[in-house]
Chain A
């Protein structure tokens, strides 16, 4: 266990950034999102939830796959190489780190997504425990311990001191390079902090949500429930919930005409959109009720059915905070809990 004074963090960022791209929460135009560290960036590790999750760093909202150019009457194709340089993600919270395990299930199972795999391999994760969990948090329900997040290095911000503990080999390597900036510390302060965090988590209103009605069996059991029809109506069919979600992983692949060539890119897609998974024959889901149902069924029933019971929600609560109509996964879970099926 090591520690560093909060006021010295800029030196730590600079040291990390000397050899790696460093992604961390940056406040710009009033909102905090993960971004690339620069000397002028306003780092904000106090904000509990970045608007977008850390998913962006491993699975960008939009990335070019290859470019086709016209060259002397022929077509030339430039592939986009997977990432080859190391990077560090700093200050990512426990829920977002767990979300990567969900994404791994999707992108690292056959056929392996080489772009994602390269980023996972090159990235070192320095997670940050949540000193002040919010009302909308329910990571405990999915087995995430925000007092002891996963990651290559785990950190705790206690008062004006950041505690630092390497958890994996990657984490130890990073720690070794930072030893000149870090001081040895004992565990006492962190243990006290953890106890305090866990006590708050116990008091969180959503910590006791029951997932009894969910899991693989729910795929059939909940599909035809009248609850969907009752609940979906306020949904605006916007993509806010899916785009702020750390685990939503659906994407679309599109071509962009540059005038003298084509760029093929992939970008996040949202099951809330009317043209989601549009195919030649039309669309699988033709009503907003079906789209609304899809999102929650995917997270709480289909995903566990295909992944040994693992839910694809980590309880970060971003959709709870951001839905313009105040619809969210908690309301869905509670509706099923209350009314049965």
Chain B
């Protein structure tokens, strides 16, 4: 972590960058917030640990509108999102100094099943422990680092950054699950079971729009679900249809552009596994139009802005 702070200080002091986009220490180990640092002095609050799951790439849209360069710290998976924003001309590469930071898997407090959590140690970077020690109001507990990891880290895209100016720190191999296993499990269900599964998950949705607002692919200036010009603007969930409509359309709109960064599932206050929508599209795209990873490069054609004359017909493979 000190290495990151030193880097930020050097670049800020030399004037090469005007600000630093990183994570700021919260009240505890486990609640750091994304933050801009504009002076070396303010970097005393900089933190990088296992709880820095927030993907900073989307903040670069706003940073790009400001004077001067922004130093941004991107984890390997965040760099895919940044690259995708780059190919969509939403960010300006000239105004970014990208430090690719190592990642050893990110954690979710919500996955730590203890009450009254005061502090958590073992999430430090670069030397994360195998086991987290959780100090609570009701005693000290332990949990394996892996067990508190975000879902997305179990199916990590890899340790390589796809865009950077400089790399600092090592990443760890965290993959221990099949990325599409859950999608396949649902595909194998009967229509009744599928419907019941999604109905129960989506009925929790409170339409807070956290999934949309955190999503680096959701960068429209005005979302159709916010537009007063159509009655698609539905502020609160009034019927079960609206939740489906919102999530299907949102997933569709990011299909072929979603890098599977997993932020939607991380931020959902109701714990809805929203990545299951995006991953279904990714799986279909891979199967029908060839393997594709959004954000991996700047040149290839995205699957939904491309076609071949031999493409499958809609409904193919149906019962």
Q: Which residues of chain A are near B118, meaning CB under 8 Å?
A: 135, 205
* B137 in contact with A204 (CB, 8 Å): yes
Q: How far is the CB of B207 from chain A (nearest CB, A)?
A: 7
Q: Is B296 an interface residue (CB 8 A)?
A: no
Q: Is the interface of A mostly helix, strand, loop or mixed?
A: loop
Stretch at the interface among B121-129, B234-242, B310-318: B234-242
Q: Which of A200, A233, A237, A330 contacts B36 (CB 8 A)?
A: A233
| Alpha-carbon distance A203/B137, docked complex (angstroms) | 8
* B267 in contact with A324 (CB, 8 Å): yes
| Alpha-carbon distance A274/B212, docked complex (angstroms) | 14
Q: Which residues of chain A are near B214, meaning CB under 8 Å?
A: 236, 238, 324
| Alpha-carbon distance A134/B214, docked complex (angstroms) | 27
* B137 in contact with A135 (CB, 8 Å): yes
Q: How far is the CB of A334 from chain B (nearest CB, A)?
A: 8
| Alpha-carbon distance A203/B210, docked complex (angstroms) | 32
Number of residues from B at the complex interface, CB < 8 A: 45
CB closest residue in chain A, given B110? A321
Q: Is A267 an interface residue (CB 8 A)?
A: yes
Q: Is B92 an interface residue (CB 8 A)?
A: no
0/1 string, A265-297, CB within 8 A of B gives 1: 101111001110010000000000000000000
| Alpha-carbon distance A324/B26, docked complex (angstroms) | 13
0/1 string, A316-329, CB within 8 A of B gives 1: 00000010111100
Q: Is the interface of B mostly helix, strand, loop or mixed?
A: loop
* A330 in contact with B27 (CB, 8 Å): yes
| Alpha-carbon distance A330/B31, docked complex (angstroms) | 12
Q: Is A51 an interface residue (CB 8 A)?
A: yes
Q: How far is the CB of A302 from chain B (nearest CB, A)?
A: 22
Q: Which of A135, A238, A254, A326 contacts B213 (CB 8 A)?
A: A238
0/1 string, A241-259, CB within 8 A of B gives 1: 0111000000010111100
Q: Which residues of chain A are near B238, meaning CB under 8 Å?
A: 62, 256, 265, 267
Greatest chain A CB density within 10 A among B138, B207, B208 is at: B208
- Do A238 and B209 form a contact, CB below 8 Å, given A62-B236, A252-B235, A325-B54? yes
- Give the residues from 118 to 170 in chain B that come closer than 8 angstroms, CB to CB, to chain A: 118, 136-138
Q: Is A33 an interface residue (CB 8 A)?
A: yes
| Alpha-carbon distance A254/B238, docked complex (angstroms) | 11
Q: Which residues of chain A are near B266, meaning CB under 8 Å?
A: 324
Interface size class of A (residues with CB under 8 A): 35 or more
| Alpha-carbon distance A33/B206, docked complex (angstroms) | 11
Q: Which residues of chain A are near B26, meaning CB under 8 Å?
A: 326, 331
- Do A274 and B206 form a contact, CB below 8 Å, given A31-B270, A48-B115? no
- Give the residues from 5 to 21 in chain B that come closer than 8 angstroms, CB to CB, to chain A: none
Q: Which residues of chain B are near A254, meaning CB under 8 Å?
A: 233-235
| Alpha-carbon distance A324/B263, docked complex (angstroms) | 9
| Alpha-carbon distance A55/B315, docked complex (angstroms) | 44
CB closest residue in chain A, given B51? A326
Q: Is A133 an interface residue (CB 8 A)?
A: yes
- Do A33 and B204 form a contact, CB below 8 Å, given A234-B33, A239-B209? yes
Q: How far is the CB of B194 from chain A (nearest CB, A)?
A: 14
Q: Which of B31, B35, B116, B236 contacts A132 (CB 8 A)?
A: B116
Greatest chain B CB density within 10 A among A61, A238, A334 is at: A238
| Alpha-carbon distance A133/B116, docked complex (angstroms) | 7
- Do A29 and B201 form a contact, CB below 8 Å, given A51-B270, A273-B226? yes
Q: Which residues of chain B are near A81, meaning CB under 8 Å?
A: none
Q: Is B34 an interface residue (CB 8 A)?
A: yes
| Alpha-carbon distance A324/B33, docked complex (angstroms) | 9
Q: Is B61 an interface residue (CB 8 A)?
A: no
- Do A237 and B213 form a contact, CB below 8 Å, given A135-B116, A268-B236, A273-B235? yes
Q: Which of B116, B206, B209, B213 contacts A52 (CB 8 A)?
A: B206
Q: Is A195 an interface residue (CB 8 A)?
A: no
* A29 in contact with B237 (CB, 8 Å): no
For this complex, 17 residue pairs linking A to B, each with C-beta atoms less than 8 Å apart, are A28-B200, A29-B271, A48-B115, A51-B269, A135-B117, A135-B118, A135-B137, A205-B118, A234-B33, A234-B34, A238-B214, A240-B269, A242-B208, A273-B235, A275-B233, A324-B54, A331-B33
Query: Which residues from chain A sit less than 8 Å from chain B, CB to CB?
Result: 28-31, 33, 48, 51-52, 61-62, 132-135, 200, 203-205, 233-234, 236-240, 242-244, 252, 254-257, 265, 267-270, 273-275, 278, 322, 324-327, 330-331, 334
